[in-house]
Amino acid sequence: RVFNFSPGPAVLPQEVLEQAREEMLDWRGTGMSVMEMSHRGKAFISIAETAEADLRELLSVPKNYKVLFLQGGAFGQFAAVPMNLSKPGDVVDYVNTGAWSKKAIGEAKHYAKVNVAADAGEPYTSIPALSGWQVSDNAAYLHYTPNETIGGVEFHFVPELKSGTPLVADMSSTLLSRPIDVSKFGLIYGGAQKNVGPAGLTLVIVREDLLGHARPGTPAFMDYAAMAKEGSMLNTPPTYAWYMAGLVFQWLKRQGGVKAMGEINRRKAELLYSTIDNSSFYKNPVAKDARSWMNIPFTLARPELDKTFTAEAKDAGLVTLEGHRSVGGMRASIYNAMPLAGVEALVSFMKEFERKHA
Ligand code: PLP
C-alpha cells in the first residue's frame, strides 16, 4: 500500500481494514456481512451501541450530550444547524477563517440573519484575534471551523464566549486528532471521512437542552430531537460506515486514545513544518500560531515543477499531494491513520527533490 496524503476520503488504519476484511463475509458467526444486516437486528444494535460507547469514552462526552450517527455530510449540517438551533429572523454568529467557513455561512444565510463576528480576510492564513470578535448579544449560536481543511488553518484554542452563546464547531477534519473538552460546546459535527471512518457517516454531538427547537418544516431526518429519540435510526442509518467507525474507535483506544494521538500528530506536523521552514525551496503560508496539524499546504519555489513533484512522489509511493484545486501547490493531509513513517518518507522525498531541483 501507498502513503496516501488525501484530504478526504482519507487513509484508514491498516489494522482496521484488515479486521474489516476478515469479518467481511461472516460477522462473528452470523453468516452474513455487516452490510447485509438489518439495522434493527441484535447484531447491528450491539455494533452501534459499542461504537457510541467507545466514542463517548474517547472524547469523555458528558451524559447530557447526545451522539448522533447521521448522513448528509458536514454540508448537510451547514443547513441542519440553523434549522435546529435558530428560529426564522434570529441572528446567528459565524467566524470566517476560510473556504469551509464560507460555505457554512452561505448555507446559514438561507435560514437566519448571519453576523460575521470575525473574518480573517484574504488570503485566510490566520485566525482573527478573539479580542476583536464582534459577537452579537442575542445570537442563537456562534459557529466556527476549528480546522480549515483547504487552507490548513487550525485553532489551537477554544474560543470561550462570555455571553454563554452556544458554540457550534465543524470539526470534520480535526475530530479525534487531539483531546477536546466537549462541555465547552453546544454542538460539534463532522463528516467521518477523515479521522473517523468511510464517507457516508456524519457525527453530531449535541447538548440536550439544544434539542427539540427545530423550526417547522425541518425534514425529520435532519431534526436532531427526532433522530435522538430513535437512536439515529429514524430511517436506515449508514450501517457499514457506522461499523467501520466503531473499528476505528477501538483502534484509537489501542493507540492510547486521543491524548496519545495528539502527541503523535503534533510530532508529525512539527517534522513536516520544520522541513518546510528550514528550506528555501518550500513554503507554508499560514501564521505559525494557526498552522494545522492535519492539513499542511505548501508551495514550491518553482511552481512549474508541481507536476514533476507529484509524479516523482507517486513513484516513491507518496500519493494525493496535490493542493486543492482552488489554491494549487501541494497539500499533505496527515490524519490519525498516517503513521510517522509516512511523514518521514515524505520529508526525505522532499529533501531529495529540493537537492535535485532547487
Ligand atoms: N467542513 C470541512 C472542514 C470539510 O473539510 C469538509 C469536507 O472536506 C466539509 C465541511 C464538507 O463535508 P462533507 O463533504 O462531509 O459534506
Q: For the residues of 15-58, what is the DSSP string, one character each? A: HHHHHHHHHSS-STTSSS-GGGS-TTSHHHHHHHHHHHHHHHHH
Answer yes or no: pTM beyond 0.95. Answer: yes
Catalytic (active site) residue 137:
no
Instruction: Work out the percent of the chain whose per-residue pLDDT is above 70.
Output: 100
Q: What is the atom index within ligand 1 of the atom nearest the CA of 76?
A: 16
Q: Which three cell numbers stand for residue 128?
A: 482573527
Per-residue pLDDT tens over the stretch 155-168 = 999 998 888 899 99
- Answer yes or no: is the C-beta of 195 below 6 A from any ligand 1 atom: no
Mean predicted lDDT score pLDDT of the chain: 97
pLDDT band at 284 (very low <50, low <70, confident <90, very high): very high
Instruction: Please give the pLDDT value at position 358.
Output: 84
Q: Give CA–CA dist 168/85, Å, rounded.
A: 10
Architecture in CATH for domain 15-254:
3-Layer(aba) Sandwich (3.40)
Domain 257-357: top CATH class: alpha beta
pLDDT band at 324 (very low <50, low <70, confident <90, very high): confident
Q: Give CA–CA dist 211/144, Å, rounded.
A: 20
DSSP assignment, residue 177? S
Domain boundaries, the chain: 15-254, 257-357
Catalytic (active site) residue 351:
no
Q: Which three cell numbers stand for residue 290?
A: 494557526
Catalytic (active site) residue 184:
no
Helices 42-59, 239-254: inter-axial angle, 10-degree rounding: 40
In this predicted structure, the answer to whether residue 250 has a pLDDT above a threshold of 90 is yes
Helical spans, DSSP H, in the chain: 14-23, 42-59, 73-85, 99-108, 224-229, 239-254, 257-277, 306-315, 340-357
Q: What is the atom index within ligand 1 of the atom nearest the CA of 192?
A: 15
Per-residue pLDDT tens over the stretch 34-85 = 999 999 999 999 999 999 999 999 999 999 999 999 999 999 999 999 999 9
Query: Phi and psi for 154 in degrees, rounded to 5?
Result: -130, 140
Q: Are 65 and 208 in contact (CB under 8 A)?
A: yes
For residue 124, the Cα-to-chain-centroid distance in whole angstroms is 18
Interface predicted TM-score (ipTM): 0.99
CA of 131 from ligand 1 middle (Å) equals: 28
Show the CA angle centred on residue 195, arms to residues 202 and 147, nearest 5°: 85
Catalytic residue selected from 54, 66, 194, 268: 194
**Half-sphere CA count of 47, side-chain side, radius 13 A:** 29
Q: Are 305 and 281 in contact (CB under 8 A)?
A: no
CA of 148 from ligand 1 middle (Å) equals: 9
Per-residue pLDDT tens over the stretch 103-147 = 999 999 999 999 999 999 999 999 999 999 999 999 999 999 999
